Structures are given as C-alpha cells and as structure tokens.
Amino acid sequence: MSGFYPKGVNTYTYKSMQRVLLTRRCKNKINTNSAFKPGNKNILLQYVKMQQFKITSVFTTITREKTYKVDNFSIPTVSKLSSTNRRCGEKESSHIQVPHILSHSVEEKLCPLLAFFQALGVPEKQLGRMILLNPRLISYSIESKLTETVDFLASLGLAREGMIGKVLVKNPFIMGYSVHNRLRPTAEFLKSVGLKELDLQMVAVKFPEVLCRDVNKILRPNFAFLKRCGLEDGQIAALITSYPPILIKSIKNSLEPRIRFLVEVMGRQIDEVADCPDFFRHGLKKRLELRYKLLKENNINCSLSEMLDCNAKKFLVKFGLFA
C-alpha cells in the first residue's frame, strides 16, 4: 500500500504493524475454526463489540443486486442472521439480499480494514460505532479508496499521530466522498475565504462534516449571506474557525432569524457576533430570546459573550435573577 502512513511509520513497519494486529486481535480473540470461518457476523460481535440487534441494520444497509439462495450460500452465519431478522419482525424468506460484508473474507478483507483504522488512531472501542454509522466502510478498498482520503487529510496537516483517527470517528461518512469532486474543492474554498492551514485543521477535526458539503450549493451561499449582513472577510473566517457549522446551517431557518433578532430586537451591531460565535450555537427561542427578555426586564446591560458563556443556573446567579 503506497500513500500516507501514521507519523514515523514506513511501508515495512506499517505492514508489520498490520500483521501484529491481525495476529493479536483477529486470530487470538476470534476463533477461526470451521465453525466460524468466514463468519463476518461473528467478528462484528466479538472483535468490534457491536450489539447483535444492530448488526442486522449493518447487513441490510450494504446490499448487492444479486440475490442468493440461503441453502446454496456457504457462510455458516446465515442461519444466525435469519434468526436475528425474525426477532426484528422481518419476514422469513428462502432468499435473502446478501450484503457486501458477508461476501468478504475475514482475514483478507475485514481484519486488514480494522487494522488499517487502528493504525490511523481509531480506538478499538470506536470501530463498532463507525461501522454501524457507515456500514459501507467495509466495502471500500483500502488501496484505491480509503488511502486516497487519508492522503488528503494528511495533506491538510493532520499527519500527527491519532488526528486522522479523530476525524474518522467524528464523521465516518467522510470516507465515502470523492477527494477530487468534493473534499479538495471544499478545502480550497475554505482557504480562498481566509482560513489558514491551522484554521483548516481545526475545522477538519472539530466539524469534518463541513468538508463534505457542496461548495456551490451550501458553503458559498452561506458565506455570501454573512457578507451581505455586513461582516468582513476576516470576521467570517474567524467565525468559521470558531464555529464551523455556521457555513452549513440553513440561511432561512437559522442564520437569518438569529441575525434579525440580534439587530432588530436586541439593537446590537452585527460586528458583535464576530467576537461571540456561540451566538449561532444557541437556540433562538429557548436561549437567546429568553435570556434577552430577562435582562431587559431587569435593565441589565452586558455583552453577548457575558450573556451566553454559562448555563441557565449560572446565568441566573451571575445576574442576580433568582426570584
């Protein structure tokens, strides 16, 4: 495998690491006798520690067009899968849609995949959650698909140990997006609006979903809206770095109502949100309007940051608003 490896790990040591992981994790912890082999369902139960009732959703998410007859299918765990389906209320059938996961060899596909993710810093206890959220991970090729995404993340400066693993745990779906058509254009757009390398790394680690959104349909319109509201490029870049979701929130349902409330109701300047990104994080009805009303009724003046930097109880104590 050519491409990115964790810091300090070359091709030889990576393959050695992978062999160790395969030996210690997959072969020692999982019985690979004929009763198991190649029971991919068992590896999810024992190695990834995924609850049995959740495995059905994984299996049914990744389906193949071709239908196999149960009697002719050579995986011993099909009967277990059928019993799991019955408990979930699904109809019994002599034919099942066979998901990709069942067609992959444990030692040739599943174990190398798990070792690959662990080498990138994904904790063992998070592997089950990743696969449950995005079962298609199992069908991706390490060489032609996953490595390309990892190389891209490394090019952003996320080559320090464990950083890419954090991104994958936070958003396993990022592995399914095209680097050429989606991820790289998004990164280039973020750079073009003023984000520096460190800023881009913070966005990727804190909220990788932003990298997966369409530039022309979502990111650019949101940026343009914030500019129309009177924010400067540098202020918007700072907002994006501090609170990345501001670029993907709905203009109509989220950004516009909040800014209208800020300017028209609270009588504040738009510049104030540049110093208080949390303004966009809090609920309009449950937090912003309620706290503003309490402060106004008691003739209390404060900055946005002072109004929002604490929980409800501390807010009441802070401004002496206990009845």
Q: Is the pLDDT of residue 299 over 60?
A: yes
Per-residue pLDDT tens digits for 22-42: 444 454 444 433 333 345 555
Going by C-alpha positions, the residue among 243, 254, 262, 249 that lies closest to residue 221 is 249
pTM recorded for the entire structure: 0.71
Q: Kindly list the domain boundaries of the chain, sorted by start residue.
A: 11-140, 177-281
Do residues 99 and 59 lie in contact, with contact meaning Cβ atoms separated by under 8 Å? Answer: yes
Please give the mean pLDDT across all residues of the chain.
76
> Do 28 and 60 form a contact (C-beta atoms < 8 A)?
no
Q: Is 188 helix (H, G, I), strand (E, B) or coil?
A: helix
Q: Are 28 and 21 in contact (CB under 8 A)?
A: no
* Fold (topology level) of 177-281: Transcription termination factor 3, mitochondrial (1.25.70)
Q: Which residue has better confidence, 86 or 223?
A: 223
Q: Is 117 exposed, middle or buried (0-12, 13-18, 19+ CB in 10 A)?
A: buried
Q: Integer distance in angstroms from the first to the last C-alpha of the chain?
A: 66
Confidence of residue 54 (pLDDT cuts 50, 70, 90): low
As beta bridge partners, residue 63 has 99
